[in-house]
Structure formats: structure tokens, C-alpha cells
């Protein structure tokens, strides 16, 4: 018992703190020291502190005059979360099969002090030397006036960043039409941040067109990065030793105050065009024959919100047959906004000979340079139909006098009823052995080969398993998308019914409830069902289009494209799913 007691007293395991009282802006160092090597070290829960460094392990094993001195230390650097009196609980370790514990340590945290102890830690250095900034080109634009948001990451020359950074939160621009500008490579540039020299990279460029007036909030961009901070020590080659600190940086939310367009001087036919535009109406030809066709093109070109307004409609005389226009867009978007042209091309087919005037068309827009409304009016166009039939009636003011015909009176307009007639015999012919009789008699015999051919084709279609699945998939897509097709042209109703159709299809095929409806689970389940990754990505993109369409203007052409894409994707999934 005496030997056991002596060996027990020789083991030391204790907790030591750098100070018992510190300010809330200071750092506390705590060391867990032992004089014999141990295993399974378990530190206490530092609930009231933030661990800003550690655990750092140090080892001393010295022999002086034949006497061995051993010391092993686990060190932590702690930052207090708030003021108060806190107790750091026990740490444990196992030495020679026995479990040893430290005594609890109590420290008092006071208000911040003017001169905190020690140099700033790596986390503080990283916070001071890394900045994410959102630069807004115009924080007070008009409705539908472009503004640009450029996200820059400023890095001091004293620290570095590892390549494994990622976006933790991507900004969503509610109440804006947005377009990201492609950035090819992250080029490091030199600049200044608050008067100091920094390096920076441009991470993201986005052009925004506000679709609502008032104060609109931009959600922040948030990044998870790893900052390389110098420790102040050098290795054996004289190179600076760096420590890596995980850091979350944010650009912060920004507010844009959108001004409404002035009501004074607003034209009655204003469709929301904002920018600097040219307008023209042209025809492929002005002279043709009846039943031939020509194209009339209404085109707007220039710089502005080209994708966000409707073109004026073409009006023609009723004698001209006009088909639905073909809409085309040739628009590119850069930091200055949209520029290019949009057009509607109408196909016109005249039915009768004559001269037909196409009335002039007006286009109104708001000019940002002069902050006033402007109007451009096209010239009247005359369509000359040189050959063709003449209209039987001419009560239209649009046809020329050349197409009018003189009325010739008929002398027999009021003739008396005839009192004599040429009678013909109405003797009934016998149906038996007539041509109709023999045709009806032979028809069933002629139908037998036809029925055999139809039966063989039907059996052949049944044997074609792949073809049957294709036809079944097409019918299924039409079934689920029937409601969406009825709502084409009505943005809100169309995308609601389209999203509901996608929900119902997945519930039927994957047997998942609406509460479980998220993109990650859909992608996982479809992949497990052997659906190709490209088809899965297409399906996810349609869901995202339904979500974004609620906040962005959508044309009928876009809705038709989304409908066709949804029908095609549902059909492909139904063919591939196992």
C-alpha cells in the first residue's frame, strides 16, 4: 500500500490558466500539464468561450545529471463570449491504466480593456485582412433602368487564400430581371481598400433591371474560405510558416431605391420600354399578286430593356389575311445592359386586287438621357395587289376606287311566275341487281383482307415494346400537361399548372409526397431509377424556371418553349425509368 501511494503521488495532471481575470476582448491561455505520458486525453467543453487556437501539444523530455524530467502539455487559446464568472470544467487522461482529472478552474471576464493582452490571433488577422465587397453602379435607378452589381474579394498582401473556397449563399434578386456576366478566370488585380494597398479578384458580375418601385433589397453573397495567416515563425529553410484559418465572409445586403417613371407626358400607348431605341416598319415587297405572300417586319433596336416590353401590333385592312407574328431576339447583355434588336415578322396574304394602305405605327419609350418620353412613328405603307379577283362588295374605305364596279340593272328583276313547265318522268328504278346492290353485296368480302392487314399491324405494334413505351410516355406527358397547355399566355396560371403537373408526375412515378419535394431528393431518386443525368438536369432546370418565372417577365414564346421542354423531358423520363 505504501509503494502504491508513493507511485500515485508521483503522477501530476493539472490545469493552468494565463490569468484569472481578463477583459472580454482579451485571450485566455489554458495549459493541461502532465509529468507522465498518457492516452485518451479529453478536454472540457468550453461552452462560454470560443476556441481560437489549439490544441497545441508540447513535449519536454530532459536528462540532467542522470535525472529524467518529463512534461507534456496540451494548450488552448480561448476568447470569452460575454462578461461574467465562468468555470472551466475538468479534463481527463488515462495514465498507466488509471484515469486522472484536473480540478475545475474559475475565471472572471470583465468589460473590454484598452490594451488587450498579447498580439491578435490568426482569426482576428484574417478578419482584418479579407473583405468581400458588393459594388453597385447605380443605387437609385428608374424602373427598368439597368444597374450592375460587381462582387470583389479584397485580400491583403500579408495573408493568402487557399483554392478550396466555395459559395455558401448565392444571392437571389427578387423583383429584378437579372443576367450574370460570364467571367473567364479569376485575374488578380491591384487596388486600394480604405486607403491601403490590396489585391482583389472579381468573383461575380450581374446586370439587374428592377421590375418594382421602392426600396428593394439585394441578398448578400456569402463565401466559405480558408485564409493562410503567417505565424511569425520560420522553418529550417527560412520560409515563413503559415497557419490555415477557416473564415466566412459576406458582402452584406444592399438596398436599391427604385424610382417610378414620371406620369407627366407618359403616352397612352407606352409599353414599358426604357433606354435609347430606333424603330422601323418594313415590308419584303410592296407589289404582288393576290394569294401571294409578303412579310411585314416591326423592329426595335438599340440599348435598353429589350426583352422586357412588347412591340406594337400591326393593323391592316380586313381584306388582307394576316398570320401570327414570328418573334425574334438578337440581344447581348454586358455591364452596360442589354443591346441589340427584337422584331415581330408578320406574313400577309392579300385575297383581292387593289391598293391597301398599312397605317403608320407609333412606338414610345422613356429616354434615360433626357429623362423624358419620346415617340417614333413609321411611314404609311401602300401594298399594291396588281392581279387577282375583284371583291364582290366594296363597302370598305380602305380599298381604292379602282376596285369599285358599276351596278348594272337587270330588266328581269321582277319577272312573273311561270305558268308552264317541262315535266319529267319520276319512275322508280328497281334496286335489285343495280350497281348499288352489287357494291353493297361485295363490300364485306373486300373488307376481309383489309381487316387482316389492320389486325397484323395492330399485333406488330403490340410486339414493338419500345415503340409502345414511347407512345405511352407521350400520352402520359400530354395528360399531365393538359392544364398547363390551356393556360399558355397567362404567366402565373401557366407556371403554377406546369409546376403542379411536375409535382403530380413525380408523385405518381417516384411515390414521394409534396412535403419531400426538393431538388436533391428528386435528383437522387431519378438517378437510382436509371434516368440519364442530362435528362435529370433538364427536369431540375424546368423546376427552377417555374420558380424564377414568378419574379421575371416572360413572353409567350418562352412559355411555349418551357411547355415543349417539359413535355419532352417527361416523355424521356418515362422511357428510361426502371
CATH number at residue 27: 2.60.40.740
Whether residue 442 is contained in a domain is answered as: no
Residue at which a domain ends, from 229, 258, 287: 258
Which domain range does residue 185 map to? 124-258
Residues 41 and 132 in one domain: no
Report pLDDT digits (tens) over 226-274: 888 887 777 777 777 888 888 889 988 889 999 999 999 999 999 999 9
Is 321 inside a domain boundary?
A: yes
The pLDDT assigned to 395 comes to: 43
- Give residue 569's pLDDT: 85
| Domain assignment present for 439 | no
For 92, list phi and psi in degrees, rounded to 5. -130, 155
| Same domain membership, residue 138 and residue 108 | no
Contact 297, 344 (CB under 8 A): yes
To the nearest whole number, what is the mean pLDDT of the chain?
A: 83
Whether 231 and 172 share a structural domain: yes
DSSP string covering 97-116: TEEEEPPPEEEEEES--SS-
**249 shares a domain with 147:** yes
Can you give the pLDDT at residue 260?
Answer: 95
Question: With helix as H, strand as E and coil as C, how does 550-563 read?
Answer: CCCCCCHHHHHHHH
* Residue 420, in any domain of the structure: no
Task: Please report where in the chains the cell 485566455 appears, as a residue.
Answer: 28
Helices of type H across 412-532: 435-463, 465-480, 482-486, 491-510, 519-528
Picking from 533, 471, 470, 542, the residue whose alpha carbon sits closest to that of residue 506 is 542
Give the side-chain half-sphere CA count within 13 A for 459.
6
Rounded to whole angstroms, the Cα distance separating 107 from 125 reads 26
Residues 73 and 157 in one domain: no
**What percentage of the chain carries pLDDT values higher than 90?**
36
Residues 137 and 245 in one domain: yes
Distance CA 101, CA 93 (A): 7
Q: Phi and psi of 407, rounded to 5°?
A: -85, 125
489: left (phi over 0), alpha (psi -120 to 50) or beta: left
151 touches 202 (CB < 8 A): yes
Q: How many residues does the chain have?
A: 578
pLDDT in tens, 156-205: 988 888 877 888 888 889 899 999 998 888 888 999 998 889 999 999 99
Q: Has residue 422 been placed in a domain? A: no
Distance CA 549, CA 552 (A): 5
Residue 375 has pLDDT above 50, yes or no: yes
Contact assessment for residue 534 and residue 548, using Cβ atoms and an 8 Å cutoff: no
Residue-wise pLDDT for 510-546, tens only, equals 766 655 567 777 888 888 888 888 888 888 888 878 8
CB 13 within 8 A of CB 93: yes
Cell matching residue 442? 361485295
- Whether 418 is covered by a domain: the verdict is no
Q: What is the pLDDT of residue 468?
A: 61
From 367, 388, 403, give the residue that closes a domain. 403
Looking at residue 555, which CATH number applies to its domain? 1.20.120
Would you state the pLDDT for residue 305? 95
pLDDT tens across 55-96, in order?
888 877 777 776 778 888 888 988 888 889 999 999 999 988
- DSSP secondary structure letter of residue 418: P
* 131 and 231 share one domain: yes
Q: Are both 317 and 394 inside the same structural domain?
A: yes
Between the alpha carbon of residue 392 and those of residues 71, 251, 318, 389, 411, the distances in Å are: 116, 73, 14, 9, 21
Contact 538, 562 (CB under 8 A): no
Per-residue pLDDT, 307: 93
Q: What is the mean pLDDT of residues 302-326?
A: 92
The confidence score (pLDDT) of residue 478 equals 66
- Check if the beta carbon of residue 67 is closer than 8 Å to that of residue 98: no
Average pLDDT score over residue span 318-347: 93
Tell me the backbone φ, ψ of residue 111, rounded to 5 degrees.
-65, 165
CA-wise closest residue to 286 among 362, 376, 348: 348
Please, what is the angle between helix 491-510 and helix 519-528, to 10°? 40
Domain boundary among the residues 87, 118, 149 is at 118
Question: Which backbone phi and psi does 451 adopt, to 5 degrees?
Answer: -65, -35
In a domain, 88, yes or no: yes
One domain, residues 231 and 194: yes
Res 410 pLDDT > 70? no
472 and 521 share a domain? Answer: yes
Q: What are the cell numbers at 69?
A: 524530467
On whether both 129 and 253 belong to a single domain, the answer is yes
Asked if 200 and 154 count as a contact pair (C-beta separation under 8 A), the reply is: yes
Lowest mean pLDDT among 109-123, 148-162, 357-371, 393-407: 393-407
Domain tally, the chain? 4
244 in the same domain as 160: yes
- Structural domain includes residue 424: no
Amino acid at each position: 500500500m505504501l509503494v502504491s501511494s508513493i507511485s500515485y503521488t508521483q503522477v501530476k495532471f493539472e490545469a493552468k490558466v494565463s490569468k484569472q481575470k481578463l477583459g472580454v476582448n482579451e485571450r485566455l491561455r489554458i495549459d493541461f500539464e502532465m509529468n507522465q505520458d498518457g492516452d485518451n486525453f479529453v478536454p472540457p467543453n468550453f461552452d462560454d468561450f470560443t476556441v481560437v487556437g489549439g490544441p497545441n501539444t508540447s513535449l519536454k523530455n530532459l536528462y540532467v545529471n542522470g535525472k529524467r524530467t518529463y512534461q507534456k502539455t496540451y494548450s488552448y487559446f480561448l476568447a470569452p463570449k460575454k462578461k461574467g464568472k465562468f468555470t472551466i470544467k475538468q479534463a481527463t487522461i488515462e495514465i498507466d491504466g488509471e484515469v486522472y482529472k484536473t480540478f475545475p478552474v474559475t475565471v472572471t471576464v470583465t468589460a473590454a480593456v484598452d490594451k488587450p493582452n498579447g498580439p491578435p490571433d490568426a482569426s482576428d488577422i484574417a478578419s482584418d485582412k479579407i473583405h468581400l465587397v458588393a459594388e453597385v453602379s447605380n443605387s437609385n435607378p428608374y424602373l427598368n433602368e439597368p444597374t450592375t452589381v460587381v462582387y470583389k474579394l479584397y485580400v491583403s498582401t500579408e495573408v493568402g487564400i487557399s483554392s478550396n473556397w466555395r459559395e455558401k449563399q448565392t444571392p437571389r434578386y427578387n423583383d429584378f430581371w437579372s443576367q450574370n456576366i460570364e467571367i473567364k478566370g479569376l485575374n488578380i488585380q491591384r487596388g486600394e481598400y480604405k486607403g491601403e494597398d490590396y489585391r482583389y479578384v472579381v468573383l461575380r458580375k450581374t446586370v439587374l433591371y428592377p421590375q418594382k418601385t421602392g426600396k428593394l433589397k439585394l441578398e448578400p453573397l456569402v463565401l466559405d474560405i480558408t485564409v493562410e495567416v503567417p505565424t511569425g515563425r520560420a522553418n529550417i529553410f527560412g520560409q515563413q510558416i503559415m497557419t490555415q484559418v477557416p473564415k466566412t465572409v459576406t458582402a452584406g445586403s444592399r438596398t436599391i431605391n427604385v424610382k417610378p417613371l414620371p406620369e407627366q407626358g407618359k403616352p397612352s400607348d407606352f409599353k414599358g420600354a426604357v433606354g435609347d431605341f430606333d424603330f422601323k416598319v418594313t415590308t419584303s415587297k410592296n407589289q404582288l399578286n393576290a394569294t401571294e405572300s409578303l412579310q411585314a417586319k416591326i423592329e426595335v433596336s438599340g440599348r435598353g430593356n429589350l426583352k422586357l416590353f412588347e412591340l406594337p401590333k400591326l393593323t391592316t385592312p380586313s381584306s388582307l389575311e394576316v398570320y401570327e407574328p414570328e418573334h425574334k431576339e438578337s440581344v447581348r447583355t454586358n455591364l452596360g445592359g442589354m443591346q441589340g434588336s427584337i422584331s415581330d415578322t408578320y406574313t400577309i396574304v392579300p385575297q383581292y386586287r387593289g391598293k391597301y394602305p398599312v397605317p403608320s405605327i407609333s412606338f414610345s419609350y422613356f429616354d434615360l438621357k433626357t429623362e423624358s418620353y419620346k415617340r417614333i412613328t413609321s411611314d404609311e405603307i401602300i401594298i399594291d395587289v396588281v392581279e387577282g379577283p375583284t371583291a364582290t362588295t366594296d363597302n370598305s374605305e380602305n380599298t381604292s376606287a379602282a376596285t369599285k364596279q358599276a351596278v348594272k340593272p337587270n330588266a328581269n328583276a321582277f319577272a312573273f311566275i311561270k305558268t308552264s313547265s317541262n315535266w319529267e318522268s319520276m319512275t322508280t328504278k328497281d334496286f335489285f341487281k343495280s350497281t348499288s346492290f352489287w357494291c353493297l353485296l361485295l363490300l364485306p368480302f373486300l373488307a376481309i383482307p383489309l381487316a387482316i392487314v389492320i389486325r397484323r399491324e395492330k399485333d406488330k405494334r403490340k410486339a414493338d415494346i419500345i415503340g409502345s413505351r414511347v407512345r405511352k410516355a407521350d400520352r402520359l406527358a400530354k395528360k399531365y400537361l393538359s392544364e398547363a397547355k390551356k393556360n399558355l399566355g397567362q404567366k402565373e396560371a401557366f407556371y403554377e399548372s406546369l409546376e403542379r403537373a411536375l409535382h403530380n408526375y413525380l408523385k405518381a412515378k417516384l411515390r414521394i409526397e409534396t412535403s419531400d419535394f426538393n431538388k436533391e431528393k428528386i435528383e437522387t431518386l431519378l438517378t437510382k431509377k436509371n434516368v440519364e443525368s442530362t435528362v435529370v438536369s433538364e427536369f431540375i432546370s424546368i423546376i427552377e424556371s417555374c420558380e424564377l418565372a414568378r419574379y421575371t417577365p416572360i413572353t409567350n414564346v418562352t412559355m411555349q418553349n418551357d411547355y415543349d421542354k417539359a413535355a419532352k423531358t417527361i416523355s424521356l423520363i418515362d422511357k428510361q425509368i426502371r
